[in-house]
Amino acid sequence: MSDTAVERVSRLLEHIAKSGLNAYVTPGGEAALSQAREADRGKRPGPLSGVPVAVKDNISTRGMATTCGSRILEGYIPPYDAHVVQELHRAGAVILGKTNMDEFAMGSSTESSAWGPTRNPWDHNRVPGGSSGGSGAAVAAGEAPLALGSDTGGSVRCPASFCGISGLKPTYGLVSRYGLIAYANSLEQIGPMGRSVGDVARLLDVIATLDPRDSTQVRDTPRGGYLASLDGTDLRGLRIGLPREFLEGADPDVVRATHDSLDTLQQMGATWEEVTVAHAQYALPAYYVIAMSEASSNLSRFDGLRYGLHLPPGAKDWSTHFSDVRGQGFGPEVKRRILLGTYALSAGYYGKYYLKALQVRHLIQMEFTRLLRDHDLLITPTMPFPAFKLGERIQDPLSLYLADVDTVAVNLAGVPALSIPCGFSRGLPLGLQLIGRPFDERRLLQVGHAYQQATKHHLARPPGSAEAGGFST
């Protein structure tokens, strides 16, 4: 006899309470159990009825704290649900809790959270990746069967790679951003995370629905049918491009695992060739100029007056009070990005930095259009190395930014990308990145699923992994 939803959720909440990973900042508690009871009574029907789902802490949840990993939003409880959370409820899912993240999604390690770092389930002395590290660690450790993250420059794919799970950055405009607390509007997308590609497809079917409140959504593209499209392992006729620039400087084990994966896909009928992304070396600086500039604008709304952190005003003028709140509420990385973004947008530098970055972005978009016209998808490593140690890069921002070298171009181009496990290096998972044409998520998921049918990398579990309720596709 299978477990009830209440039994699954109770077991997970007990495990989370004892876990040393710090994957959650706000477990669902009684609210999650109440939803589970409704599912058991048939009052939450749908494709995810009774299935626990973890939600990144920058996605608004009505009645549940949403802090973005920042002191400046400590105690903030949104009065509304994000569109994707509404869709989870409509599908019958149980919101298991809010997961830890780099503050305001600015990071690749989940070390900048005001609530302390999340640890990698495979090695508690290493990072889980970021900024959706809590979601990645929770799925890998069996503390949730499914999770939502957000991806601005790799923040779903990086934790997927470091934690040995599957994660998708959808095409920009596929999934509603309503209720996602903005970091960089033109780059970010909410993405599904799960142990297998099948799990990711099932969750994408739920969240990729039209929302009239999000003007950035593309209306006239087919949606849904992602899970139903997963069938077979015959990849005959599939044309793959391998951008050589994405292998430069990568760990030898990463290079080896990438070529081994291509050999596997070739045995399944695909063909591949090396290709060149002409402006690849400019993607990282262009991304950070654009992202920091948009962050500078977006985060100006956090003033300590309307919600979040409040300080006694005393006799200070508004400007001084505003500076004090932000000085105490924001962490070092967020301050750094706000300052750099403000500088890039300032008079005399806008054209030199921000406008130039937009021009580079256009060139990269054209490069991806050209390459994906001649190839069905591109394959690269997700990350150039396995998970690094806690504290190893956090004091060296440039070193930390370089971790995103294989992921940011995808966000600049607005195309979809899927990270799947492809091997191990010294006991740590490695990720393979599949990059597709705009709104061609079905093909990415089909190829990823076929690869997982032919390999066993995604079946590996870290030591001490919990049972997430037996849900897997």
Of the listed ranges 106-115, 123-132, 297-306, 434-443, the one predicted with least confidence: 297-306
Task: Find out whether 156 and 139 touch, Cβ atoms under 8 Å.
Answer: no
Q: What pLDDT score does 472 carry?
A: 52
**pLDDT of 150 above 60:** yes
Instruction: Please state, in angstroms and rounded to a whole number, the distance separating the CA atoms of residues 170 and 156.
Output: 10
Confidence band of 70 (pLDDT split at 50, 70, 90):
very high
Q: How many structural domains does the chain have?
A: 1
Confidence band of 319 (pLDDT split at 50, 70, 90):
confident
Instruction: Please state, in angstroms and rounded to a whole number, the distance separating the CA atoms of residues 198 and 235.
Output: 17
Region 339-354: mean pLDDT is 94
Reading the block at residue 222, the tokens are 């087919």
Q: What pLDDT score does 466 carry?
A: 78
Region 132-158: mean pLDDT is 98
Distance, C-alpha 415 to centroid of its chain? 14
Residue 467 lies in a domain: no
Distance, C-alpha 197 to centroid of its chain? 15
Q: Coil, strand or helix: which one is 339? A: helix
Region 19-28: mean pLDDT is 97
Quick: pLDDT tens for 86-142: 999 999 999 999 999 999 999 999 999 999 999 999 999 999 999 999 999 999 999
Q: Which helix (H) or strand (E) holds 34?
A: helix 29-40
Task: Find out whether 158 and 383 touch, Cβ atoms under 8 Å.
Answer: yes
Residue 85 lies in a domain: yes
Instruction: Please state, in angstroms and rounded to a whole number, the distance separating the CA atoms of residues 374 and 229.
Output: 23
Region 68-73: mean pLDDT is 97
Q: What pLDDT score does 470 carry?
A: 46
Of the listed ranges 1-10, 173-182, 373-382, 461-470, the one predicted with least confidence: 461-470
Quick: pLDDT tens for 361-373: 999 999 999 999 9
Task: Find out whether 126 and 428 touch, Cβ atoms under 8 Å.
Answer: yes
Residue 151 lies in a domain: yes
Region 436-449: mean pLDDT is 98
Confidence band of 468 (pLDDT split at 50, 70, 90):
low
Percent of the chain at pLDDT above 70? 98
Residue 74 lies in a domain: yes
Residue 330 lies in a domain: no
Residue 215 belongs to a domain with what CATH number? 3.90.1300.10
Confidence band of 306 (pLDDT split at 50, 70, 90):
confident
Which residues are designated catalytic? 56, 131, 155
Residues 6 or more apart whose CB falls under 8 angstroms from that of 1 comprise: none
Q: What pLDDT score does 315 carry?
A: 59
- Alpha helix (H) ranges present in 113-269? 133-140, 157-163, 197-207, 252-267
Region 382-387: mean pLDDT is 98
Nearest in space to 57 (alpha carbons), one of 118, 6, 9: 118
Burial of 1 (0-12, 13-18, 19+ CB in 10 A): exposed
Hey, which residues does 421 pair with through a beta bridge? 431
Q: What pLDDT score does 304 carry?
A: 81
Helix count and strand count (H, E) for the chain: 14, 11
**pLDDT of 448 above 50:** yes
Residue 51 lies in a domain: yes
Domain span holding position 90: 5-278+365-459
Confidence band of 1 (pLDDT split at 50, 70, 90):
very low
Predicted TM-score (pTM) of the model is 0.96
Reading the block at residue 182, the tokens are 């903005």
Residue 358 lies in a domain: no
Q: What pLDDT score does 334 carry?
A: 97
Quick: pLDDT tens for 401-413: 999 999 999 999 9
Nearest in space to 444 (alpha carbons), one of 468, 470, 410: 410
Residue 296 lies in a domain: no
Confidence band of 309 (pLDDT split at 50, 70, 90):
confident
Region 331-339: mean pLDDT is 96
Instruction: Please state, in angstroms and rounded to a whole number, the distance separating the CA atoms of residues 443 and 235.
Output: 11
Nearest in space to 56 (alpha carbons), one of 188, 247, 161, 198: 188
